[in-house]
Amino acid sequence: MKTWFLITVAGLALLTSACSPMFLLSKAGSEKRGRFLGSKTTYEMLCESGDLLKVLEATHFSEEMKETFYRSNCSAERSTDKVKQIYTSMSPEQRKDIRTAFKKNGYLINSGNC
């Protein structure tokens, strides 16, 4: 019994301390809240509105990286896995850059230091 309790506590500690490689974002003043970048539900919020283009223009990314990031989110070939792959491959400076660009464009960001 004591062993199962310790295993459960250790498991919960791991789950609560784990952090996502993606950040949670929402548009200030919008009812669409709490979407992970790269999820299918962000298409309307970021792509149809044109907001992702504005966000990417506010970054210091190379044109190639901007195009890849946009295509992975907003094209017919969009892929949640590809967006996650791109985001996790970014340097800490690039992650900070895109978080700052989202904030400048009216998005609320909830991100850990992963």
Residue 59 pLDDT = 96
Q: How far, rounded to the nearest angstrom, does the alpha carbon of residue 113 sit from its chain's CA centroid?
A: 12
Domain assignment present for 12: no
Quote the domain boundaries for residue 100.
20-110
Domain assignment present for 13: no
Domain assignment present for 7: no
The total domain count for the chain is 1
Note the pLDDT tens digit of each residue in 28-45. Answer: 776 656 676 767 778 888
Domain assignment present for 4: no
Residue 45 pLDDT = 84
Residue 75 pLDDT = 87
Could you say which DSSP state residue 31 is in?
S
Ranges of residues in the chain with a pLDDT under 70 are 1-23, 30-34, 36, 38, 111-114
CB burial readout 66-98, b (16+ within 10 A) else e: beebbebbbeeebebebbbebbeebeeebbebb
Domain assignment present for 8: no
Token digits for 34? 């709490």
Domain assignment present for 37: yes
Residue 33 pLDDT = 60
Domain assignment present for 14: no
Domain assignment present for 78: yes
Quote the CA–CA distance of 19 and 68 in Å, as a whole number.
25
